[in-house]
Amino acid sequence: MLGLMQQQNLLISDMIEFAEKHHGDTDIVSRRVEGDIHRSNWATIAARSRQVANALDQWKLGVGERVATLAWNGYRHLELYFGVSGSGRVLHTLNPRLHPEQIVWIANHAEDSVLCFDMTFLPIVQKIHQDCTTIKHWVALCDADKLPADSGIPGLLSYEAWMGKQANTYAWPALDENTASCMCYTSGTTGNPKAALYSHRSTLLHAYACALPDVMCLSARDSILPVVPMFHVNAWGIPYSAAMVGAKLVFPGAALDGKSVYELLEAEKVTLAAGVPTVWQMLLGHLKAGGLRFNYLKRTVIGGSACPPAMIQAFNDDYGVEVLHAWGMTELSPLGTLCTLKNKHLELPKDEQMKIRLKQGRAIFGIDFKIIDDQGKEQPNDGKAYGDLLVKGPWVIREYYKQEGASPLVDGWFPTGDVATVDPEGFMQITDRSKDVIKSGGEWISSIDVENIAMAHADVTMAACIGMAHPKWDERPVVVVVKKPGSAVTREDLLKFYEGKIAKWQIPDDVVFVEAIPLGATGKMLKTRLREQLSDYRLPA
Ligand code: ADP
């Protein structure tokens, strides 16, 4: 017998319609690349996303055609999120931090038809436009009078002139909920980038999940500042979840330095912010230097790479801000786990609670995970056994866009490329990316553990642990460290600092001081590049 409930497809257009109807006057605030603060609200965003949809119709862009963006977090980008996907086209967020050649490769692979870009990225577009073979329309996200007369880009339009003349009424199409809605390429640290192609259904289910109390706990009482870029896995789904719950959104634009982010957090009474650890490092540095405090911030979601315990502690103990440690990846839309305590943990002493908070967290309903060994045998959830982490769920990819060869799935599970442990309570902890694991004398050393200890030292700004070939032990860990400016910390000091914090054989053989650690396009340490830079390095005898 079938149920007798209404059959309604899960569509992105419904989220913006909802936000307009029930939270129309809720603020959407953006620091623009022009430098000023711009104020909009959900009703205006909805109206303008319908204008975008009309403008795309006028170009006769078909369902499924790709509309690419090269843009910071801001209101125009948000309008494209809803206008492009809502009208049945696929929003393709390009990462401007990639090398221009990679951007060309990705735009051609995706067969983008349109590119909308912030004026900051005009020099990139000028460099690449002739090599992008499928893009027919170029739109600069600016007012008509800001459009340069001599950009060299044929037919370049200003966003405001392009969509501004359209009607703000539009009947969103009744799409199949499995229709593709957006696409996002992985950063491709190994091989060519690969694209996850999300659907309306997967995006909506992910948005529901993100808003749950044990996940980001989003509500109409929140003012949310996603520092994580809208060009990086849809800013972790926050724009959609915010529309779904009617939260206020605050966009930082291009100004991601500690001072600018802090000013916005305070001025817009932000209650929740989200970003990768490197961004928060800058913010904490700014607070410390100025003796500042947060007056409104309550929670911050930190993920994308392991959040050092010292950072969780600083937010918690020094500033009274709860850190929600999150794990995910492009192929997971991106959220997989988030770390919040259970009822029985509430009575634990603070330091016991902290041990749990450092982990990447528990599964969110919708995501299942398991760890397996080399032979594919499932490993116990005892918090000690580690294995390759596999996931499945309705917002996990089935295959990549234009997949070559077989699907990446193993018996229906997606192999994440991460190595993890799972404790008896179901809390997952990433020990490494499988390609970064250090194998010493037949045992594995977690590079994340080694890095976290160095990061807890008062004189260390950043630390990366890599394995170096060793004639006897196969590999031995070396920690590469960026010192705090003016610090006189020595190799010996740091090696001593490890004593008692980690098994003796896991203590690095050496400390290498560098000016900077190379970061990838999504703010993560690029260990491949670091290994190349240290190709002449030899372990101490
Ligand atoms: P890319 O794969 O393009 O670098 P992703 O954002 O998809 O970018 O990266 C996903 C990977 O980032 C995960 O597989 C994992 O290795 C790492 N990662 C994400 N969040 C965390 C976290 N909280 N702790 C440790 N590693 C993380």
Q: Which domains does the chain have, with CATH numbers?
A: 12-25+38-169+179-205 (3.40.50.12780), 440-533 (3.30.300.30)
Q: CA–CA separation, 122 vs 333, rounded Å?
A: 28
pLDDT digits (tens, 9 = 90+) for 103-143: 999 999 999 999 999 999 999 999 999 999 999 999 999 99
DSSP state letter for 176:
-
Q: CA–CA separation, 418 vs 429, rounded Å?
A: 10
For ligand 1, atom 19, name the residue with the nearest CA.
304
**Position 189 confidence tier, pLDDT thresholds 50, 70, 90:** low
What pLDDT, on a 0 to 100 scale, did the predictor assign at position 132?
98
Q: How far apart are the first and last CA of the chain?
A: 74
Question: 337 in ligand 1 pocket by Cβ < 6 Å?
Answer: no
Q: CA–CA separation, 412 vs 435, rounded Å?
A: 23
What pLDDT, on a 0 to 100 scale, did the predictor assign at position 265?
98
pLDDT digits (tens, 9 = 90+) for 236-267: 999 999 999 999 999 999 999 999 999 999 99
- Ligand 1 centroid distance, CA of 435 (Å): 13
For ligand 1, atom 5, name the residue with the nearest CA.
329
User: Is 186 labeled as catalytic in the residue annotation?
Assistant: yes
Q: In angstroms, how far is CA 25 from the centroid of its own chain?
A: 28
**Position 284 confidence tier, pLDDT thresholds 50, 70, 90:** very high
- Ligand 1 centroid distance, CA of 352 (Å): 26
User: To which residue do tokens 């009947």 refer?
Assistant: 171
Atom number of ligand 1 nearest to Cα 188: 3
- Ligand 1 centroid distance, CA of 199 (Å): 21
What pLDDT, on a 0 to 100 scale, did the predictor assign at position 146?
94
Helix axes 491-498, 447-455, angle to 10 degrees: 110
- Nearest of 82, 89, 83 to residue 112 by alpha carbon: 89
- Ligand 1 centroid distance, CA of 303 (Å): 8
Question: 305 in ligand 1 pocket by Cβ < 6 Å?
Answer: yes
467 pLDDT above the threshold of 70: yes
What pLDDT, on a 0 to 100 scale, did the predictor assign at position 437?
85
What pLDDT, on a 0 to 100 scale, did the predictor assign at position 473?
87
Give the chain's mean pLDDT.
Answer: 95
What pLDDT, on a 0 to 100 scale, did the predictor assign at position 443?
81
525 or 212: which leads in pLDDT: 212
User: Is 515 labeled as catalytic in the residue annotation?
Assistant: no
Question: 38 in ligand 1 pocket by Cβ < 6 Å?
Answer: no
> Of the listed 298, 370, 392, 439, which one is catalytic?
439
529 pLDDT above the threshold of 70: yes
Q: Which of 337, 430, 431 to mutate to test the pocket of ligand 1 (most atoms within 8 A of CB)?
A: 430
Atom number of ligand 1 nearest to Cα 193: 3
Cβ atoms < 10 Å from Cβ of 531 = 16
> Can you tell me the mean pLDDT for 473-487?
92
What pLDDT, on a 0 to 100 scale, did the predictor assign at position 75?
98
Strand partners, 328: 335
- Ligand 1 centroid distance, CA of 521 (Å): 12
441 pLDDT above the threshold of 90: no
What pLDDT, on a 0 to 100 scale, did the predictor assign at position 221?
98
Question: 304 in ligand 1 pocket by Cβ < 6 Å?
Answer: yes
Atom number of ligand 1 nearest to Cα 331: 7
DSSP state letter for 348:
S
> Of the listed 444, 461, 524, 528, which one is catalytic?
444
Helix residue ranges, H only, 376-426? none
**Position 190 confidence tier, pLDDT thresholds 50, 70, 90:** low
**Does an H or E element contain 311, and which?**
helix 309-313
Cβ atoms < 10 Å from Cβ of 424 = 9
Question: 463 in ligand 1 pocket by Cβ < 6 Å?
Answer: no
> Can you tell me the mean pLDDT for 201-226?
98
Atom number of ligand 1 nearest to Cα 325: 23
449 pLDDT above the threshold of 60: yes
387 pLDDT above the threshold of 90: yes
CA dihedral 464, 456, 358, 394 (to 10 degrees): -30
> Can you tell me the mean pLDDT for 135-158?
95
**448 near 432, Cβ under 8 Å?**
yes
Predicted model pTM: 0.92
User: Is 522 labeled as catalytic in the residue annotation?
Assistant: no
pLDDT digits (tens, 9 = 90+) for 321-351: 999 999 999 999 999 999 999 999 999 999 9
What pLDDT, on a 0 to 100 scale, did the predictor assign at position 191?
67
